[in-house]
Each structure stands twice: as C-alpha cells, then as structure tokens.
Amino acid sequence: MELQQVSRSNGTPSNGSSSSVNLAPLLTGQFSNSRSDQKKAKALSDAIDRSLRADRERQLREGGIKLLILGPSETGKTTVLKQLKLLYGRKGLDVERQTYRRVVHLNVMKAMQALVEGMEQANIQLGNPQNAVHVETVRRLETTLKRYSITTVGVPNPAIPRKITDAKAETDMFADMVPAIKSLWADPGIQKTFDTCTQISIQDSAKYFLDAVDRVADPEYVPTDDDILQARVRTLAVSEHIFDIDGVAYRIYDVGGQKSLRKYWVPYFDDVDAIIFMSAISAYDQGCEDNPNLNRLQDCLLLFNEISNHKLFLHTSMIVFLNKIDIFQRKLLSGSMVNRYFPDYNGPNDYFSTTVFFQYRFLEQCKDLQKQVYTHFTHATDTKQMKVIVVAVNVIIQRLNLRNSGLL
C-alpha cells in the first residue's frame, strides 16, 4: 500500500484535528550519549514515525476521494497505478524494483515466443534459414512458459512446482535463451511479422524489451522506472492504494480485468466518487483471449455500457482513458483498416478521424444525457503525459464532486 504523507506547517493532520498518537515526553537528559541510549532514542523516534504514518493513513482512509480503475484485462490499469506510485508514492517504484527483473526476463521470452507463432501462422519465411535452429529452441519454450505465472509481483502461483518459480532457474534459462532471441529479433522474417501481423497476441512492450536484450541480460541488471512501467503483470486481486495528489487524498482500487474476476468488483462499488475506465483503443483489430470471435474493443464498449449506467454510479464521475494510442498509430500506419473491424465506420483511416469515431462510440454508451463523461487519449507508459492528465483528472473530479454536493 502506498501512502504519500500529508502534513501542514503547524504539524497537525490534514483534517485539522488533533493527532491520536501519544508521544512520550522527551525530557532534557532523558538519554545520555552512550551507544545503548542512542539506540533507545532511535527506536523511540522510529516508533513515533510509524505511529504518525499509521494515524495519517487512518485519516486518509476515513476521508478523501474513492476512485476505481476499471476496464478489461490488458488495457493499462496497472500501468496507470504504477505511474501514480512513481509520481505520488512515498517510495516510488523502489519496493518492486528487484522483483521486476524476473518479470522482464519472462516478458522477453514470451514476446519472442508469440512472434515465432505469429510468423508460422502468417506463413512468413525466415530471412536467414540458419535461424531455424533458434526457432526450434523457442518452440521448446512453449510448454515451460505456460507453467510460469506472474500474477502479483513477488508472489508465485502456488500451483506451480517450486523449481519453476525459482529465481535462479529462471535467470539461467533466460541467459541460455539470449543468443536465440537476439538472432531471431534481427531476422527479416521476424521483423516482417512484427510490422505486419498486428493481430497476434503479443505484449505491447515487445519491441521495447527486445531492442534492449543485451541490457536486461546483464548479470547486474536492475530494472529502471521505464522498464517497470513497460513490464506486463497480470492482476488477479483487488488492491487498495492511498495517495495525496496535489493536496487531495485518494483511495484508489486496482482490479483484475478478466471476465472471471469482474464479479469481485461489486463490493467496491459503494460510495465511489470517480471511476477511471480504461480501454485499449489499439485492440480494435483483436479478438478477446477467452472468445476470439468477440472483438476486444467491442467487449470494452459493452462493459463501459454496464458501468456507466449502473444504478450505484448515478452521481459518480466518469473518466475514460482511451489508452495505447502509440500502438494504435503504429497499426494505422501499417495499413490495418478500422472499417474492417467496425463496418459502421466510413471515414478515412487516419488517426484524427478514427479517434473521434471511437470517442463518440464510448460517449454514446452512457444513457444519461445529463451526465458528463470525460475522455482522454493516453499513452500510459509516458510519464510526462500521464502527469499532465492526472492533474487534469484531479481538477475534474473535485469540480464534479462540488457540483454533486450543491456547492458549485
């Protein structure tokens, strides 16, 4: 749980009430300069700091804005949460940094596995026939990688044999795979697959990590902030995080987006002040993981229809992030036609026209014409853009809450 400490110049909690922490009197001469007494003083100081943090956290829990981040899987919900940790968290992303080393290695291996599968499905030939041996090496990974699970950072799936979740075993396996990955990524056949087969199920950060194989394979590698933002981790549980965003306390809930997990969202629907609904606009040409015949973006529209018209959200601020605009632009440039997947679209296949179309499709899902739905086109791994958007969202939420309270 992240907590950005909130304080005022007079030392009182942010709500102006007296702190409930009982501080022992620090009398002159209570501690001598002996090492033993210095340790006692340090222990007392640390205990006071912990109590103050706990008290501030309690106060934030009791007040502030309750915000849900909702949306289907692979739309960028957890990436937005990582950005909030980086921008407003007390420790940023440092707590997770070492654990993400394993995540990055698995992301790289799974990216190359997806490219090899996509190349074979599209009947694309290798540019260098000698790389066929590396294709076989990657194929042998299929069974092994299916046994890996990264669902909550640092917590392996208990159903997986211990030897598979052993960090050293995974590091060694990745090191053995690096020559094959580098050779294949340089092959014209794999590059053609990446550029033209936009429908294959490949993580958005594939190019980012495959271009950096030498760096992430270094034995001394420590993931950077950008690496952590790009890394893909599937969320299976609901987690609560507390932030102070420009003086406003937020309790933010991140949820798993898989259909099987959506039934667990309902207990968090009470007293919600705002919802950020995540949609991957780049998924317009992809099928759902559990139902390839259902378009991912169509599924997202259906889900937003349910959320925006839910009886518990009549007075809840709605903000839609049409995310992954960088991937969306790349697909348009590669020649992927929007009207092939959305036949009701009859405009030009350029970025401006297609984004206006998708923006309207989301807005029309909300049946209450008096309710404002705010939309943002986002690139969630871009920290500079997200900082500007978070500030704008904070202003929107506060204004709408004042209006709903009759104060504006």
User: What residues form DSSP beta bridges with 376?
Assistant: 321
pLDDT(139) > 60: yes
β-pair type (274-280, 248-254): unpaired
Within a domain: 192? yes
- What residues are designated binding site for Mg(2+)? 78, 235
pLDDT(70) > 80: yes
Catalytic residue among 187, 244, 254, 299: 254
Percent of the chain predicted with pLDDT > 90: 32
pLDDT at residue 290, as a whole number: 77
User: Which CATH number fits the domain that encloses residue 204?
Assistant: 1.10.400.10
Containing domain of residue 355, as a range?
64-94+235-404
- What residues are designated binding site? 74-79, 204-205, 229-235, 254-258, 323-326, 380
Within a domain: 124? yes
Residue 254 is among the residues annotated as catalytic for this protein: yes
Please report which confidence band the pLDDT of residue 197 belongs to, taking 50, 70 and 90 as the band edges.
Answer: confident
Residue 79 is among the residues annotated as catalytic for this protein: yes
Q: Are residues 122 and 265 in the same domain?
A: no
Look-up of token digits 């092959």: 187
- What residues are designated binding site for GTP? 74-79, 204-205, 229-235, 254-258, 323-326, 380
Q: Are residues 200 and 247 in the same domain?
A: no
Looking at per-residue pLDDT, the higher value among 120 and 259 belongs to 120
pLDDT at residue 309, as a whole number: 92
Q: Are residues 187 and 70 in the same domain?
A: no
Catalytic residue among 152, 258, 329, 359: 258
Residue 53 is among the residues annotated as catalytic for this protein: no
pLDDT(158) > 60: no
Catalytic residue among 232, 251, 296, 361: 232
Which one, of 284, 282, 278, lies nearest residue 297 by Cα?
A: 284
Task: State the burial class of residue 146 (Cβ atoms within 10 Å of its Cβ: 0-12, 13-18, 19+).
Answer: exposed
Tokens of 121: 């499905």
Catalytic residue among 74, 96, 187, 299: 74
Residue 90 is among the residues annotated as catalytic for this protein: no
pLDDT(233) > 50: yes
Say how far apart CA 156 and CA 251 lie, in whole Å: 27
Q: What is the DSSP string of 134-167?
A: HHHHHHTHHHHHTT--EEETTEE-TTS-HHHH-H
Residue 171 is among the residues annotated as catalytic for this protein: no
* Boundary-marking domain end, from 164, 195, 222: 222
Q: Are residues 89 and 171 in the same domain?
A: no
Q: Are residues 275 and 396 in the same domain?
A: yes
Q: Tell me what the mean pLDDT of segment 52-59 comes to.
A: 54
**Among 140-154, 267-281, 295-309, which is the least confidently predicted range?**
140-154
Catalytic residue among 4, 59, 79, 113: 79
Q: Are residues 168 and 259 in the same domain?
A: no
- Average pLDDT in the chain: 78
Within a domain: 352? yes
Say how far apart CA 104 and CA 221 lie, in whole Å: 10
* Boundary-marking domain end, from 197, 222, 247: 222
